[in-house]
Chains A and B, each alone.
Chain A
Amino acid sequence: MSDLETFRSETRAWLEENCPEEMRAPVRDEDDVFWGGRNATFKNDAQKAWFDACVEKGYTVPEWPTDYGGAGLAPAESKILKQEMARIKARPPLSSFGIWMLGPALLQFGTEEQKLHYLNQIARGEIRWCQGYSEPGSGSDLVSLQTFGEDKGDHWVVNGQKIWTSYADKADWIFCLVRTDKEDKYRGITFMLFDMTSKGVSTKPILLISGSSPFCETFFDDVEVPNDQFVGEINRGWDVAKYLLGHEREMISGMGGGGGIGSLGKAVMPSLGEDAMGRLDDPLLRAQLAELDVEALAFKAMAERFMDELKAKKNHPATPNMMKYVGTELNKRRHELVMASGGSEALEWESEESRGGAKARDWLRTKANSIEGGTSEVMLNVISKRILELPDA
């Protein structure tokens, strides 16, 4: 048996032993996801057992080095772990902006001390992070950021306002873009980390069309930040921010493949019925669902190629922008069809049976996919300029 085959069979055995039955089902809603943090509670014992087992093994962040709380897996091993987890539909043990976004940036730009400290915390789900990028008036155009950090020698004093800070009201710490040089608008930004319980930090949730409020307005009023809590170099926060945005786009684009959702057409077959030929009894909807399946499977092939090329360092650096664009547009299309397939039942907003109107709320939530993390239009700009090398206006 090759090393990888051995690894596969060991992984399979480990999952068999450690992944509880309740954790082998697709995530349906927020309740099924464990986000960690100082005030975290587990939904049930199975969720806790699964999380603890993964922390122990380094499987919350399988590819990170063991010194930082990971399992130190090689890319080929990590791919096998993903495949084996997908095979039994295992839920992610921990969902975290620390894992998806801050972690990769720290691995690239952090000092050894920062890595040992923060990465281990992230891997163990001890601190829940939020991201402070956007500001009122600075959505896709981050160059116009206004939040200012004044250098006071042994600390900064930060003043300003962030917006669309996901789960800021539940987060323990924030990673944040702060202007530290007002003269140089392209470079004068620093990537800072600080505790959300610091004096002068306040948050206010924003109610969305989906009826939920995952985003907040976040206010900084003379917040004192120790001057060793920055990543990368002072005034070179862009390097960190851009690297991190690439990972955010990968994460968001990953949703387009439909995850473990499978074929929507098949899922709605029992409620819509079949015709004499055994086909979904709504030929035009069936045709649209068939096109969606083609697109979803095609996107899945693209995602596989993208990850394989990324690992072999063969991809164009702007590929995440393309993935983000197509993945989010596809996810919106899927949810339009979820609504069309559900008919009047998908309109329910509050009933128990509809799990609190999950279909309708999810549908509305997806509309943000092509806005957050850079709009589809910004992605198309990047593709046309950096990949196709079309001229500037």
Chain B
Amino acid sequence: MPLYHTDDQAMLKDSAGDFMKNEAPVSHLREFRDKDCKDGFSHALWKQFAEMGFTGMLATEEDGGLGMGNTEAGIVLEEIGRNLTPSPFLTTSVVGVTGLNHASKDMRDQWLPGIIAGETVLGVAIDEGPKFRPTNIAMKAERSGNGFNLNGRKNFVVQGASADMLIVAARTAGSAGEADGITLFAVERDAAGLSAEAARLVDSAMGAQIEFDNVEVTADAVIGEVDQGADVMTRMLHAGQAGASAELVGVGAGAMDMTVDYLRERKQFGRTIGSFQALQHRAAHLYSEMEIARSTVLKAQQLLDEDDAGAPLMVSVAKAKTARAVNLAVREGVQMHGGIGMTDEYDIGLYMKRDRALAEFMGDANYHANLVAEMNGY
């Protein structure tokens, strides 16, 4: 498969790009931040996502979805990133649906129609500390009668307080640090004993700390196999990591475009600042880094869609590389804008904030570089 978009994918990019730009540009994020929306995203927009066919992209046709791949989801995510569009797309339609694709038919029937219709939102509850360590799960799920009894606490659940259902990773065996013994559960948001404390994050999204106090679930709530949840979780993580990388590329591209436009028009010392070689070279370096980052994301997504054995390595390369490149894009963006880049009124700072949140999501650059070293045998 050539490493560029097919004609169909290019068309999807155009329509997703137009949609985000027209329906949810950066001003949309500002509006939702300023009115202090408790969910941090627009439910009406989520319905529009459904009308565009985005919500069920990764669900199979048998389940009423479009049966598309990570590559297509990545195209939508890049446009989301470019426009800083707040939406549950990454957690619900990419990570959540990837998980549900490995769930029972009953569970898929219960949740997928609502997701595809743009009515249902999912949360993904894995992290228990400030850094992403997916096997360091201590939260307990103990057998209780026919089902399980959940106790523990989860951090950084994006949109966790407004989600209809949470996919929760808990430990049914083993101890923190081991991949074996993790089980995935679908837990309804209004389950007794579940409480969520939401707080606005730096990028204006709502993140939640979720407390599980003797939450009872039935055996039907298990996704995949008991004790073997790491398999499905890993698939969810790969989709989420590649997806976050795609969104990051959009964030970086949006920031770079703003910055290069600014270099072309801003005058100092009687010249446009874009004519100064010191800034030209930094902009050209940034452009190069962004092109490389973009290539890693497309390669990772293609490998995931082909279920290629090399996909995990490339997913980590993509997350590590995009995190570095896009961090450079937003830092250069604020610096090259000068004082105006520090003002809330100007959009470039919003790109810096979204970059920080996505960089942390499902493993930062160091986490993934470490995985690359491990996969390469040192």
Q: Which residues of A contact B (CB under 8 A)?
A: 263, 265-266, 268-269, 274, 279-280, 286-287, 289-291, 293-295, 297-299, 301-302, 304-305, 308-309, 311-312, 314, 322, 325-326, 377, 379-381, 383-385, 387-393
Contacts and interface: CB of A to CB of B under 8 A. Distances in A.
Contacts of A287: 366, 369
B207 to A, nearest CB: 27
25 contacts: A265-B373, A269-B377, A280-B373, A286-B373, A286-B378, A290-B369, A293-B373, A294-B316, A294-B368, A294-B369, A295-B321, A305-B3, A309-B4, A312-B4, A322-B284, A325-B284, A326-B288, A380-B280, A381-B281, A381-B284, A384-B280, A384-B284, A387-B284, A388-B287, A390-B283
A390 B284 CA distance: 10
A391 B288 contact: no
Contacts of A325: 284-285, 288
Query: Nearest 7 A-B pairs (CB), nearest first?
Result: A384-B280, A383-B284, A290-B373, A305-B3, A263-B376, A265-B378, A308-B2
A305 B288 contact: no
B284 A291 contact: no
Nearest to A385: B280
Interface of B is mostly: helix
Interface stretch (B27-35, B116-124, B268-276): B268-276
Given A265-B376, A298-B296, A384-B284, A291 B369 contact: yes
A302 B284 contact: no
A293 B376 contact: yes
Interface in B327-374: 366, 368-370, 372-374
A374 to B, nearest CB: 13
A393 B269 CA distance: 12
Nearest to A287: B369
B143 interface: no
Interface of B: 2-4, 260, 263-264, 271-272, 274-277, 279-281, 283-285, 287-289, 291-293, 295-296, 298-299, 313-314, 316-318, 320-321, 324, 366, 368-370, 372-374, 376-378
Given A298-B295, A309-B4, A312-B2, A388 B283 contact: yes
Contacts of B317: 293-294, 297-298, 301
Contacts of B295: 298, 301-302, 304-305
Name which of A289, A297, A309, A312 has the most chain B CB atoms within 10 A of its CB. Answer: A297
B376 A381 contact: no
A90 to B, nearest CB: 21
A140 to B, nearest CB: 14
Nearest to B316: A294
A247 B316 CA distance: 32
B4 A308 contact: yes
Given A290-B370, A297-B317, A380-B280, A302 B376 contact: no
Contacts of B293: 298
A383 B277 CA distance: 12
Contacts of A268: 378
B95 to A, nearest CB: 23
A262 to B, nearest CB: 8
B260 A390 contact: yes
Contacts of A305: 3-4, 295, 298-299
Nearest to B263: A390
Contact of B373 (A289, A304, A322, A385): A289
A265 B370 CA distance: 12
Interface of A is mostly: helix
B274 A322 contact: no
A304 B314 CA distance: 13
Name which of A279, A280, A384 has the most chain B CB atoms within 10 A of its CB. Answer: A384
A308 B3 contact: yes
Given A377-B281, A393-B276, 20 more contacts: A266-B376, A279-B374, A280-B373, A286-B378, A287-B369, A289-B378, A290-B373, A293-B317, A298-B292, A298-B296, A301-B292, A301-B314, A311-B2, A322-B288, A322-B291, A325-B285, A381-B280, A384-B284, A388-B280, A390-B280
B312 to A, nearest CB: 12
A269 B378 contact: yes
A269 B373 CA distance: 11
Contact of B284 (A290, A301, A388, A391): A388
B274 to A, nearest CB: 4
A380 B284 CA distance: 6
Name which of B293, B296, B317, B376 has the most chain A CB atoms within 10 A of its CB. Answer: B376
A311 B320 CA distance: 29
A303 to B, nearest CB: 8
B378 A280 contact: yes
A73 B48 CA distance: 48
B255 to A, nearest CB: 14
A369 to B, nearest CB: 15
A297 B313 contact: yes
Contacts of B368: 294
Contacts of A393: 271, 275-277
B277 A381 contact: yes
Contacts of B313: 297
Nearest to B317: A297
A389 B260 CA distance: 9
Contacts of B272: 391
Contacts of B287: 322, 383, 387-388
Given A280-B378, A301-B314, A305-B298, A392 B284 contact: no
